[in-house]
Amino acid sequence: MSAATAKTYRLLIGGEWVDGEAGTSPIINPADESHVADVPEASVAQAEAAARAAQEAFPAWAATPARERAALLHAATEKLAERRESLIPTIIAETGATAQVGSKMQVPIAITRFSEYADLAIRDHDVPLPPSPVPSTPLAAGGLIGALVARQPVGAVATISPYNFPLVNQAGKVAPALAAGCTVVMKPAPQDPIAVIELAEILDEVGFPPGVVNVITSVDPAPAAALSSSRDIDMVSFTGSTGVGEMIYEAGAPTMKRLLLELGGKGAAIVREDADIATATAALASVWGFHSGQICTAPTRAIVHASRVDELVGALQFAAGKMQVGLPTDNATVVGPVISGAQRGRIEGYIESGASEGATVVVDGRRPEHMESGFYVGPTLLADCRPDMTAVQEEIFGPVISVLTFDDDDEAVSIANGTDFGLYDYVFSADTGKAYEMGRRLRSGNVGINTAQRNPKTAFGGFKKSGVGRDGAEFGLHAYTEMQSIVWPA
């Protein structure tokens, strides 16, 4: 498999490209365990320096006219598009994404995000309010009082991201933050930071001023943790596990950080008695075929009416048998590797726990024999599950579906709502009115009715321990602003 490049990667701090003070770390290709590149290990002092640089650059960047910020974002969009063909193999090598996911989603969606936020940057986001008659009070004279709710940039933002969609995720944070007038310190996941360092190169090349964009990388969590407690960071925009989200919440409390936390999920797919099984099966099979289930929104719990369970399990078993597990670079591959040996071990542990707690392993994807190296788990189907099982309660983040049954809609909603998470649920039913009503009862930030497709214009985020705040399109831009109310006698 082609290595990304032999080039030397560096950190960007305050406009200077520097080596990591803690040395370098190797990036391993999950598909065949080959060495892709070495990336810098930042020290805590370098994380602090990057935070300081972002804070120092903030006032001038916030005061830069929106059309100039937009022009730089458009230039970044163009440069990303020019580099697209070299970025795709890099991302496939570092993430293990299949050729389909790598070429159609990992890079193009990142480009789209820059372009969208370049357009949104020049829109007026202030909210004018009609003058209100206010009576005289001991505070001040009455009269008509005019008002405006202005949106002001939050400040210096640490953007900390997970390994599954490194470039898309950072683009979804950095582009709206820069558009709103914030400065950023990017901290990509340790497993696959190369494309994000390349994004920083692009942003530097097109002319973002020194300190406006910084990037640090490290396997050691200490530099990322230092950003979450730094006085120079006003906001942490984090996507990752709920466990790390809790640590960031706590670390940010003394400095009252603004937080956007996009955390774990345990998606429920309710399959009602009148559902179209083929539609439900296609959506559920995305847990296997879309980035090996390393997706927070995946419908990993199939909650099916008892009268249809045999049909659904049969359809899923058939679908699993058709999905080729193989090298990501092979166009016929549907299920590629998971990110690392550690993650493969975690997933295998959950399959084992499902079996030992009483689930039937209908399809067992552990250690596909034809893959001699790399970190592979094939499609796995656990039937006869109960809501209290470990594999049903905890996020697996791999190609594993658990099947549970229900007898009436109330029970379905109760099972669906019965985890700590609430990110993305689904309802499959011929009665779309009923499905809509059930969707409104789900404690989940997003609900899909008869589809696993997303609408990129919606607000995206979680209820409960799936997160705090919303990103996505214009909602995402607002996440990087503070509302400031200004009043005057009209």
On the 0-12 / 13-18 / 19+ scale of CB atoms within 10 A, 488 is exposed
Distance CA 36, CA 198 (A): 14
Contacts with 175 (C-beta within 8 Å, 6 or more apart), sequence order: 73, 113, 114, 116, 117, 118
Q: Near ligand NAD by CB under 6 A, which window of 14-22, 242-250, 283-291, 307-315?
A: 242-250
Quick check: 393 binds ligand NAD (CB under 6 A)? no
Taking the complex as a whole, the smallest distance from the CB of residue 200 to ligand NAD amounts, in Å, to: 15
Distance CA 109, CA 77 (A): 11
Q: Which residues, numbered 19-58, are part of the site for ligand NAD (CB under 6 A)? A: none
Distance CA 251, CA 349 (A): 30
Q: Which residues, numbered 253-272, are part of the site for ligand NAD (CB under 6 A)? A: 262-265
Q: Please name the residue that has the structure tokens 């419908």.
A: 299
Taking the complex as a whole, the smallest distance from the CB of residue 186 to ligand NAD amounts, in Å, to: 10
Quick check: 76 binds ligand NAD (CB under 6 A)? no
Quick check: 316 binds ligand NAD (CB under 6 A)? no
Quick check: 252 binds ligand NAD (CB under 6 A)? no
Phi-psi region of 292 (alpha: psi -120 to 50; beta: other; left: phi over 0): left
Which of 48, 182, 296, 385 is the catalytic position? Answer: 296
Q: Measured from the CB atom, is 181 or 462 closer to ligand NAD?
A: 462
Q: Determine which residue in the list 241, 324, 390, 393 makes contact with ligand NAD, applying CB under 6 A.
A: 241
Q: Please name the residue that has the structure tokens 């990304």.
A: 4
Quick check: 233 binds ligand NAD (CB under 6 A)? no
Q: Which residues, numbered 114-173, are part of the site for ligand NAD (CB under 6 A)? A: 160-164
What's CA 347's distance to the chain center, in Å? 20
Distance CA 51, CA 157 (A): 8
Angle at 63 between CA 231 and CA 68, to 5 degrees: 120
Q: Near ligand NAD by CB under 6 A, which window of 1-9, 47-55, 81-89, 221-229?
A: 221-229
Q: Measured from the CB atom, is 431 or 474 closer to ligand NAD?
A: 474
Distance CA 350, CA 356 (A): 10
Quick check: 189 binds ligand NAD (CB under 6 A)? yes
What's CA 236's distance to the chain center, in Å? 14
Quick check: 397 binds ligand NAD (CB under 6 A)? yes
Q: Determine which residue in the list 43, 237, 239, 481 makes contact with ligand NAD, applying CB under 6 A.
A: 239
Q: Is 352 a known active-site residue? A: no
Taking the complex as a whole, the smallest distance from the CB of residue 165 to ligand NAD amounts, in Å, to: 7
The first and second tokens of residue 269, run together, are: 């797919």
Q: Is 296 a known active-site residue? A: yes
Which residues are designated catalytic?
Answer: 262, 296
| Interface residue list for ligand NAD (CB under 6 A) | 160-164, 187, 189-190, 221, 224-225, 228, 239-241, 244, 247-248, 262-265, 296, 395, 397, 423, 462, 467
